[in-house]
Amino acid sequence: MPVIEVRDLHVQFGKVNALRGLTMRVEQGDIYGFIGPNGAGKTTTLRVLATLQELDSGSVSIAGADALTQPAAVKRHIGFMPDFATFYPSLTVWEYLDFFARAYGLRGTARKQVVDAAIELTGLRERRDQLVGQLSRGLQQRVGLARLLAHDPEVMLLDEPASGLDPRARIELRQLLRDLAGLGKTIVISSHILSELEDLCSRVGIIDRGRLVAEGTASEIGRQMQAGNSYVIGVAGDAAIARQTLLSLPGVMTTTVLDGRIHIQTDATHADPGDLVRALVLAGIRVVECRKEESGLEKLFLSLTEEGGSS
């Protein structure tokens, strides 16, 4: 049974349809990456999941509780970190976490244990008595994650958690999220930093204009979108002649010359790069480079969202 199940979700702001029939499932222990351009509906989706946004139609179920009819039960299962996380700057890290532990009804030694454990897990032990307002942005994000752990939620919803972080803080954040997933937490994370999600997420959903246009692992989406293969061939001499030679071969669909290299798209039945090189050599063209082009998540994202835009 999926931990998060969203069916046919519609949300409208005035005349704008923010979400148009979004359907998605997230399994236990997944790190689910939610990718989309600005205004695609990522934040709205996360806010609906967090019961902060009313939905117009559809259903949302988290850990078996319906978000519409059992919002209190859903809130017990989730921890939500908004895109613009704010803190109480006059409180120390420990006081801040203690405040939320109290707010979730924890008392006595249980509360202290939970706060200490959250501090330990997020590596904030040395900062526990420092004012939150004096911490760097990266450390504040850690405090935000520690806050989510105050009531030990099954599902963590993170809206753009890496925004504003330097590269080192991003790497630390990624490691921290992996550690949390290792503890059995289900994490839904939205971000514009696609390359990072590609490495981090076990599953990815690409959203555009309120609809999920692709879903699966990064490689699954790649296969879903590309029936053939992409190759890059570098030649010594006139690339235009080589391009004409390649286009005459069966199975070659498109060729593009970029930076002196030829980018070739073939269909699935003619996937042998050896045939391409042999044809060029027979035509008297010297080949200096031949490699298969990996289809990154970023490229997929662009192709999917552009496709949506033209339709």
Partner 1 sequence: MNAAVTASPTRWRGIQCLSAAARFPFHPIIIRDVRVQLRSGRALRILLLEILILSVVLVMLHLTQIEPEVPYSAHASPPNPSSVYETGQIFRSTVYGANLFVALILGATLPLAAIARERSQRALEYLRLTPLHPLGIVLAEVTATLIIVAATMLFSLPLLLIAGLYGDIMLLSSLKIGWYCLLTALLIGSLGCLFGAGVKRPMRSQGLLIAFLLFLIYISGALFATVPSGNVGYFLPAFAAIQEMTQTLPPPVPIAGVALPQWLLSTAFTCFLSAFLLLGAGRKLYQPDAPVLTPAQFFIGCSICLGLVHGLSWHSHHDEWRVMFGIAAMAAVLMSFTLALPSRRVDPWPRKQAWSVAAILIVGSAALLIWHLEAPNMDTLHYATFLCIPFFAYAALADQIIALGRALFATRRQAITFAMVILVGSGVLVPLLTAMSLVPNHAHDSRERERQILQLACGMTPMPVVMTEYFVKGIAGAERDNVFKDLSQANVGQMAALALAAHLVRRWLNKRSASARHRATPAPME
From residue 5 to residue 24, the character string flagging contacts with partner 1 as x (rule: CB under 8 A) and all else as - is --xx--------------x-
Binding to partner 1, residues 126-185 (CB under 8 A) = 147, 154
**Interface with partner 1, residue 61, by CB under 8 A:** no
What b/e readout covers 266-295, taking b as 16+ CB neighbours within 10 angstroms?
A: beeeeeebeebeebbeeeebeeeebeeeeb
116, 117, 122, 124: CA torsion to nearest 10: 20
Q: Does 226 bind partner 1 (CB under 8 A)?
A: no
Q: Is 84 in the site for partner 1 (CB under 8 A)?
A: yes
Find the part of the chain contacting partner 1 (CB under 8 A) among 32-40, 45-53, 177-185, 259-267.
Answer: 45-53
Between CA 114 and CA 147 the distance in angstroms is 10
- Is residue 102 at the binding interface for partner 1, with CB under 8 A as the rule? yes
Per the structure block, which two tokens stand in for 218? 């990064």
31-35 and 78-81: which strand pairing?
Answer: unpaired
Selected from 11, 40, 60, 65, the binder of partner 1 by CB under 8 A is: 65
Binding pattern to partner 1, positions 254-293, x when CB under 8 A? ----------------------------------------
Nearer of residues 57 and 248 to partner 1, judged by Cβ: 57
Tokens 């071969």 belong to residue = 249
Name residue 214's amino acid: A
Please state the φ and ψ torsions of residue 282, each to the nearest 5 degrees.
-65, -30
Q: Residue 119 is encoded by which pair of tokens?
A: 């501090």
**In 104-136, where does DSSP find H-type helix?**
108-121
If one asks whether residue 80 binds partner 1 (CB under 8 A), the answer comes out as yes
Candidates 13, 39, 64, 223: give the one binding partner 1 (CB under 8 A): 64
Binding part of the chain for partner 1, among 47-55, 133-141, 233-241, 242-250 by CB under 8 A, reads 47-55
Residue closer to partner 1 by CB (options 63, 135) is 63
Smallest gap, in angstroms, from Cβ of residue 310 to partner 1? 24
Q: Which residues of 173-205 are buried (b: 16+ CB within 10 A; e: fewer)?
A: bbebbeebbeeebbbbbbbebbebbbebbebbb
CA angle at 8 for the pair 4 and 12, rounded to the nearest 5°: 110
Closest among 231, 210, 203 to 295, alpha carbons compared: 231
- Asked if 216 is part of the footprint of partner 1 (rule: CB under 8 A), the reply reads no
**Binding to partner 1 by residue 117, rule CB under 8 A?**
no
Q: Say how many C-beta atoms besides its own lie within 10 A of residue 66's C-beta.
A: 14
Given candidates 72, 109, 126, 250, which one binds partner 1 under the rule CB under 8 A? Answer: 72
Q: Which of 13, 27, 39, 105 binds partner 1 (CB under 8 A)?
A: 105
Binding site for partner 1 (CB under 8 A): 7-8, 23, 50-52, 57, 59, 63-65, 70, 72-73, 75-80, 82, 84, 86-88, 90-91, 95, 99-100, 102-105, 147, 154
